[in-house]
Amino acid sequence: MDIQIERKKGLRILFAKRSLPYWGGMLFLLFAAWLLLRDNASTLRVDAGTLSVAEVTQGDFNDYIRVTGQVEPITTVQLSPLEAGVVERLVVEEGASVRRGDVLVELSNPSLTLEILNSEAELAEKQNLLRNTLISMEQEKLTLRQNKAQLDLDVARKRRAFEQNDELYAHRLIAREEWLQAKEDWELAEKQRELNIERQIQDSLYRTVQVEQMEDNLANMRRNMQLIRQRIGNLAVKSPIDGEIGLLDVVLGQSVASSQKIGQVNDLSDFKVEAQIDEIYIDRVRTGLEASFERQDSNYRMRLRKVYPEVRNNVFRADFNFTGAYPANIRSGQTYYLHLQLGQPTEAVLIPRGTFYQTTGGAWIYVLSPEGDRAYKRPIRIGRQNPQYYEVLEGLQPGERVIVSGYESYGANDVLLLNRRIK
């Protein structure tokens, strides 16, 4: 007998066996839609109490940096002896006020003293030699003059004898040979006198040149003696300027070499401030820039006088001069914190400085939602910066709120879920 199958009606038909494929297709479509519509951003839950939040503002960006400088004398002169020696006496101590030319340290140098004695002895010997030479020359000169007088007399006599023989020979009273001998004797006497005159001239020229050379040598020796005596004077180290002894690094009995630095004298007629500046500003720092600092409830202004080209340990040096009064009781070595103005104030979007910059490098930041219950990672571009603010070039609008505290524990998460709202 056939059994009649009851046809399912209502909700039971949805759970019938033949409806299962439809249920599977529907679940697949729902899963696919969820994959397409879900938020792929990674999230991290954080404690709102640990965050530092600041508002993005619009205002004047004051383009300055803060640098640390130390007070230095306007001029520092190094003390170096011109002569080597042993320290015999310290006339002054560090911190003493001195005038130009004051003796600071006395040295001794026995070898230099011996050199002076030897030079004096050599000079005396040369002077005696010159005197003896001059005496010898005078004696030779007198001898030549005596010889010339004798030759003049001999010429006069032989000329007279020849004239007499010539007259006798004209009357044929003497032989020709006798006349010729008288003539030859007279001519010989004339030639001897001429030779004597030439010798006198040559000797005079020679003596003049020799005396000039010896006098030049003596003059050089005298100058050398003066220089050596000046070297003795150089054993007394003197102050080159009016000022204060800032350093005197010698002790009694110490051997000091020539040109060795033994101290310094500071010119306290004026002061400067020497600052160390980070090398990232080297292209923007130039002479003539203005700077200022506050001390004892007063503001003092300075001007950049000199920029040193050398960079050491990622910093370079710069010197600042006061453009007006300087603080009372100013002392060398004091530390001042200068505000160095790099440019004129300009309108910009600003956010306060924060430790987030160490993690992001200014490339991105977490921006709070209007509700204040979460923060979203957003790319930005930061331009200039000063000790208070960053200049935002792109990515933020005035009125938005950002997290400026450190991001070290946030990893690469795109969204921060706060445990409470930040109002």
> pLDDT tens digits for 146-183?
888 887 888 888 888 888 888 888 888 888 888 888 88
Domain assignment present for residue 260? The answer is yes
What pLDDT score does 24 carry?
A: 65
Least confident stretch, 99-113, 215-229, 285-299, 303-317: 215-229
pLDDT band at 303 (very low <50, low <70, confident <90, very high): very high
Average pLDDT over residues 350-364: 91
> pLDDT tens digits for 121-151?
777 777 777 777 777 777 878 887 888 888 7
What pLDDT score does 409 carry?
A: 87
Domain closes at, from 215, 233, 251: 233
Tell me the Ramachandran region of residue 118: left when phi exceeds 0, alpha when psi lies from -120 to 50, beta otherwise.
alpha
CA distance 319 to 337: 13
Instruction: Indicate if 321 and 257 belong to the same structural domain.
Output: yes
Instruction: Indicate if 97 and 133 belong to the same structural domain.
Output: no
What is the residue range of 378's domain? 43-63+346-418
Domain assignment present for residue 175? The answer is yes
What pLDDT score does 1 carry?
A: 46
Instruction: Indicate if 218 and 261 belong to the same structural domain.
Output: no
- Going through 189-242 in order, the beta strands assigned E by DSSP cover 236-238
> pLDDT tens digits for 381-413?
998 888 889 999 999 999 999 999 999 888 888
Burial 46-73 (b: 16+ CB within 10 A, else e): bebeebebbebeeeebbbbbebebebbb
CA distance 136 to 238: 49
Instruction: Indicate if 305 and 386 belong to the same structural domain.
Output: no
> Phi/psi of residue 324, each to 5°?
-150, -145
What pLDDT score does 36 carry?
A: 46
Average pLDDT over residues 306-319: 91
Judging by DSSP bridges, how do beta strands 415-418 and 43-46 pair with one another?
parallel
Average pLDDT over residues 302-315: 91
Q: CATH number for the domain including 302?
A: 2.40.30.170
CA distance 1 to 7: 19
CA distance 152 to 160: 12
CA distance 138 to 34: 133
Judging by DSSP bridges, how do beta strands 364-368 and 374-379 pair with one another?
antiparallel
What pLDDT score does 274 carry?
A: 92
Instruction: Indicate if 208 and 259 belong to the same structural domain.
Output: no
Domain assignment present for residue 36? The answer is no
- Going through 26-182 in order, the beta strands assigned E by DSSP cover 43-46, 53-55, 57-61, 64-79, 85-90, 97-98, 103-108
Domain assignment present for residue 4? The answer is no
pLDDT band at 16 (very low <50, low <70, confident <90, very high): low
> pLDDT tens digits for 34-46?
544 444 568 888 8
Per the structure, the count of domains in the chain is 3
Instruction: Indicate if 262 and 356 belong to the same structural domain.
Output: no
Average pLDDT over residues 348-370: 91
What is the average pLDDT score of the chain? 83
What pLDDT score does 201 carry?
A: 80
Question: How far apart are the two ends of the chain, measured CA to CA in Å?
Answer: 81
- Going through 279-400 in order, the beta strands assigned E by DSSP cover 290-295, 298-312, 315-322, 335-341, 346-352, 364-368, 374-379, 381-385, 389-394
Instruction: Indicate if 169 and 191 belong to the same structural domain.
Output: yes
Q: Residue 99: helix, strand or coil by DSSP? A: coil
| Residue 11: pLDDT over 70 | no
Helix, strand, coil shares, percent, the chain, to 5: 35, 35, 30
What pLDDT score does 22 carry?
A: 60
State pTM to two decimals: 0.54
What pLDDT score does 396 carry?
A: 92
Instruction: Indicate if 223 and 194 belong to the same structural domain.
Output: yes
> pLDDT tens digits for 56-88?
999 998 888 899 999 988 888 888 888 888 898
323: Cβ contacts below 8 Å, ≥ 6 apart: 301, 302, 303
CA distance 117 to 167: 75
What pLDDT score does 37 carry?
A: 46
What pLDDT score does 195 carry?
A: 86
- Nearest CA to 256 out of 86, 407, 33 is that of 86
Domain assignment present for residue 55? The answer is yes
CA distance 156 to 276: 101
Domain closes at, from 343, 371, 392: 343
CA distance 115 to 132: 26
Tell me the Ramachandran region of residue 64: left when phi exceeds 0, alpha when psi lies from -120 to 50, beta otherwise.
beta
Q: CATH number for the domain including 53?
A: 2.40.420
Domain assignment present for residue 96? The answer is yes
Burial 250-267 (b: 16+ CB within 10 A, else e): beeeeebeeeeebbbbbb
What pLDDT score does 381 carry?
A: 93
Instruction: Indicate if 218 and 121 belong to the same structural domain.
Output: yes
Instruction: Indicate if 55 and 160 belong to the same structural domain.
Output: no
Domain closes at, from 233, 253, 281: 233
Domain assignment present for residue 13? The answer is no
CA distance 304 to 288: 5
Higher-scoring residue by pLDDT: 138, 255:
255
Instruction: Indicate if 187 and 133 belong to the same structural domain.
Output: yes
Higher-scoring residue by pLDDT: 37, 251:
251
Average pLDDT over residues 321-344: 87
The rounded Cα 169 to chain-centroid distance in angstroms is 103
Domain assignment present for residue 38? The answer is no
Give the torsion through C-alpha atoms of 102, 107, 108, 113, to 10 deg.
-50
Instruction: Indicate if 291 and 314 belong to the same structural domain.
Output: yes
